[in-house]
Amino acid sequence: MGKSKAEVAKRVIGAEFRAALWAVRHPGMVAVPSSLAASAWQFGPTVTGIGVGAVVAGTVGWYRAHPDTFDTVAAPWLRSWRRRWASAYSGHLWRHLMADCGLTREHRKTKHLLYPRVVRVRSWSPSVDTVTVALVPGQSTRKFIEAAESLAESLRAERVAVERHRPGQVVLVVQRDEPFTEIIPAPVMPLDVEDVDLSSVYVGETEYGHDWREPMLGAHFLNAGATGAGKNSIGLAKARSVAPLIRDGLVKLWVCDPKLFEFSMLEPILEGRYANSPDDCLDLVEQFANGMEATQRRMKRAGVRSVPVSREYPLHWLLIDEIGSLLAYRPEVAHEMIGQLSMVASMGRATHHSLDVYIQEPSKDVIPIRDLLPNRVCLRVNSASHPDMVLGDGARERGAIADQLPAEESAAGIGFRRDQRSRVPRRVRAAYTSDDDIKELVDFVKSSESDSPNLRAVA
Mean residue pLDDT of the chain comes to 86
Measure the CA–CA gap between 312 and 292, rounded to whole angstroms.
13
187-195: average pLDDT:
93
Given this model, what pLDDT does residue 417 score?
Answer: 93
For the stretch 214-263, pLDDT in tens is 999 989 999 999 999 999 999 999 999 999 999 999 999 999 999 888 89
pLDDT, tens digit, 9 for 90 and up, residues 77-92: 888 888 988 889 988 9
Q: Which long-range contacts (CB under 8 A, 24 or more apart) does 98-104 make?
A: 100/150, 100/154, 101/147, 101/150, 101/151, 101/154, 102/147, 102/150, 103/139, 103/143, 103/144, 103/147, 104/136
CB 103 within 8 A of CB 147: yes
Residues 140/40, Cβ–Cβ less than 8 Å: no
**pLDDT score at 260:** 83
CA 5 to chain centre: 56
pLDDT number for residue 377: 96
**Smallest Cα–Cα separation from 356: which of 319, 314, 400, 307?**
319
Q: Examine the pLDDT at 134 and tell me if it is beyond 90.
A: yes
What angle (nearest 5°) sits at the alpha carbon of residue 50, between those of residues 47 and 53?
150
In terms of C-beta density within 10 A (0-12 exposed, 13-18 middle, 19 or more buried), how is residue 333 classed?
A: middle
Report the alpha-carbon distance of residue 173 to residue 188 in Å, rounded.
35
- State the pairing for strand pair 105-106/169-175: unpaired
- Residue among 166, 185, 163 at smallest CA distance from 174: 163
- How far apart, in whole angstroms, are the C-alpha atoms of residue 417 and residue 410? 19
What are the pLDDT digits (tens) for 89-112?
Answer: 988 999 999 999 999 998 877 778
> Does this model's pTM top 0.75?
no
The mean pLDDT of 379-385, rounded to a whole number, is 93
Q: Could you give the CA distance from residue 235 to residue 322 in angstroms, rounded to a whole number?
A: 13
Helix (H, G, I), strand (E, B) or coil at 308: coil
**Nearest residue to 413 via CA among 252, 271, 235, 196:** 235
Confidence of residue 407 (pLDDT cuts 50, 70, 90): confident
Whole-angstrom CA distances from 433 to 104, 160, 275 are 50, 31, 21
Of residues 239 and 37, more confidence is placed in: 239
Domains identified in the chain and CATH numbers? 67-177 (3.30.980), 193-445 (3.40.50.300)
According to the model, what pLDDT value does residue 255 have?
96
pLDDT tens across 259-305, in order? Answer: 888 899 999 999 999 999 989 999 999 999 999 999 999 999 999 99
Task: Give the C-alpha distances (Å, rounded to integers) separating 51 from 27, 54, 56, 73, 99.
Answer: 21, 5, 9, 22, 42
- Please check the confidence at residue 29 and state whether its pLDDT lies above 90: no
pLDDT of residue 193: 93
Number of Cα atoms under 13 Å in the Cβ half of residue 177:
8
pLDDT higher than 50, residue 457: no
Which strands, in side-by-side order, build the sheet including 414-418?
211-214, 201-206, 425-430, 414-418, 375-379, 221-224, 353-359, 315-320, 251-256, 274-275
